[in-house]
Every structure is written in structure tokens, then in C-alpha cells.
A = this chain, B = another copy of it.
Amino acid sequence: MLVVMQPHAGQPEIDAVIEKIRSLGLTAHPIPGAQRVAIGITGNKGGLEPELFTTLPGVADAIRVSQPFKLVSREVKEEDTVIDVGGVPLGGTALAVMAGPCSVESRGQLLEAAHAVKAAGARFLRGGAFKPRTSPYEFQGLGEEGLKLLAAAREETGLKVVTEVMDVEHLDMVADYADVLQIGARNMQNYSLLRQLGRVRRPILLKRGPSATIKEWLMAAEYVVSEGNYQVALCERGIRTFETMTRNTLDLNAVPILKALTHLPVIVDPSHGIGLRAHVPAMARAGIAAGADGIIVEVHPRPEKALSDGQQSLTPAEFDELMRQVRVIAGAVGRGV
């Protein structure tokens, strides 16, 4: 249930509603909005009577939320969430462009990539320091050394750092260096990790699991938000299907569906979504045309020498050309970069 306060309601009236919710053994989630405050209620088994709340002073309405995801739902918060990443918006009319190498490999590689993607127009630098790999014998990332290089690249370029956190053990460490914490597809339903992410003060980029339904994905976001961290963006990166010519099947249907169901920003990852360098630009364009709030693209100075994902990484020149196309499409759908 969602309790919507009147525009002029003050803190004492809000506090009274929260107190009422707690007295019922339930959890209150105050959600500040542009016009007025709303308070989500979770923890109830069955339905609640609206009259429990509408009779309190300052309350405009009490609305039943029909979806199993509550706090991430548009029913609960109508306006788009725009996450403020140290001054750079994630969500809203300006497209968020994230780019950089799959793995941080060396200072030279990372800085070259960072300068290139910044020059092309990206405002976020992606790069993996902890890498989930199918085989235990493959390169697993540079670890903290990689995080330090990312921080150094931020220092030099002003780009915001997006990097993956794989487990609770390294959460504080990664949060110390990163601006946005990426949760990989295979961890989308790692509920222990999701709960902890709800307790850090860092924006989260939650990738869709390869076989997760849209509903399950929203429920995963709900885990984070229900613990108090509202700064969550969703990243469509392709699902697993029977098609073998492409690495994944980029499910762009998810973009308009999500934009209707949730207020959270939606990012598209065309690199993993198709997995073939030559076709990444087409899918980046398509993602933006479908209504995404941004893209995340793998860029490597020398893809043929990359320690991971070389086959789907753009060169700096290809990324620069992609950004030209992105600007045109963004303009066509009323967006800027």
C-alpha cells in the first residue's frame, strides 16, 4: 500500500503516518517526490484497509499497489528517478553514456580508453577489476589494483567510474573506489548481495540475469530498494535463447515495458547484447530509439589484444563514430547526450 501525503503536509504529519505503520508491525518507506511525499508500506500479508491511513491528518490518499514489486513501481512513484552521480545525471532526458574496456588490464590501456571515450562524449568509464569468468582458469581481473587504476583514471579525466562488485566481502572496498556499483547478470538473484547493496550509499547498475523475466528483475531491484537504497538503474544486456549466431538476444522489448512499469532508469548494453563488434552500433541506436536512458559500451584501444571480450569491443575510432550516430538518434527521440 502507498500512502500519499497532501502537498502541504509537514514532517509531524508524515511522522504520524510512519508511527501508525510501525504500530501495525509493518515497514514504512518514505519516498520524497517533486510535489509531495509518499510512504510505501511493506510487510503486510493480506490487503490493508485504506481507512487506516486516510483518516489521519495530512493524508491525501491510500492506494493499493497491484504489482508484486512495490517501491520500484510507477504506481508508487510516478516521476522518473534521476540518480545524481557526483553531479552527472543517470536517468532523465540526458542520455547516460558509459564506455570503457571489459577488464582493466594496465594503466596504459585504461587511460588510453578513458581519454578516448571522454573525447567522444561519454561521462562514465566502465572497467572490470573483479571479473566473473566461466572457467576458474581464466583471467579473473586485477582486483584492488584495478580499482586503483580506475580511481586514477577518474582523477585524470573526471569520468565517473562504473565497476562490478561480485560479493559482499569486497563490497566496501569496491564502494570506496567506484561511483556506480555494477551487479553482473549472474548475480542478479544473489539475494544476500542485493540486501547489502541496499545498505550502501552508492548507485547500483543492476544487470538483468540471462534467464530472468522482467518481473524477476524488478523484484531483484525491489530487494535493494526495500533496504533503503533508491539509487538503482536497470541494465538490459541480452537474454539466453536458442539463437547461436549472437552471444545473447538483446531484449529491447524490455525497454518500453520497464519504462511503463518502473520509475528507475534503464540502460542498454549492446556489447553483451549482440556480442559482435560490427553490430554493436546498430543495437546501441536501436536501444536509444526504443527509449533507453543510456548505453554501456565496451571500448578497448586494441580489441584484438584484449584479455576478455575483444570480439565485442569497439575501437576508440568506432566508438567515436557510434557517438555521432547516437547523438542523431537521441535528438530524434527528444534526448540529448
On whether the beta carbons of A239 and B243 are closer than 8 Å, the reply is yes
Q: Which chain B positions have C-beta within 8 A of A242? A: 211, 213, 239-242
Instruction: With CB as the reference atom, state the residue of chain B lying closest to A249.
Output: B251
Q: How far is the CA of A166 from the CA of B43 in the complex (A)?
A: 22
Determine whether A108 belongs to the interface, using a CB cutoff of 8 Å to chain B: no
From residue 191 to 235 of chain A, which have CB atoms closer than 8 A to chain B?
Answer: 191-193, 195, 209-211, 213-216, 219, 222-223, 226-227
Binds B, one of A52-60, A272-280, A311-319: A272-280
On whether the beta carbons of B255 and A252 are closer than 8 Å, the reply is no
Q: Which chain B positions have C-beta within 8 A of A288? A: 289
Closest chain B CB from A87 CB (angstroms)? 29
Instruction: With CB as the reference atom, state the residue of chain B lying closest to A246.
Output: B253
Instruction: With CB as the reference atom, state the residue of chain B lying closest to A185.
Output: B189
On whether the beta carbons of A167 and B193 are closer than 8 Å, the reply is yes
Closest chain B CB from A241 CB (angstroms)? 5
Q: Which chain B positions have C-beta within 8 A of A273? A: 253
Binds B, one of A8-16, A148-156, A329-337: A329-337
On whether the beta carbons of A289 and B190 are closer than 8 Å, the reply is no
Determine whether A47 belongs to the interface, using a CB cutoff of 8 Å to chain B: no
Instruction: With CB as the reference atom, state the residue of chain B lying closest to A255.
Output: B282
On whether the beta carbons of B192 and A166 are closer than 8 Å, the reply is yes
Q: How far is the CA of A129 from the CA of B190 in the complex (A)?
A: 16
The digit string for A18-48, where 1 denotes a CB below 8 A from any CB of B, is: 0000000000000000000000001100000
Q: What is the interface of chain A, defined by CB distance below 8 A to chain B?
A: 42-43, 68, 70, 132-137, 166-170, 186-187, 189-193, 195, 209-211, 213-216, 219, 222-223, 226-227, 239-246, 249-257, 260, 273-274, 276, 278-279, 282-283, 285-291, 325, 328-329, 331-333
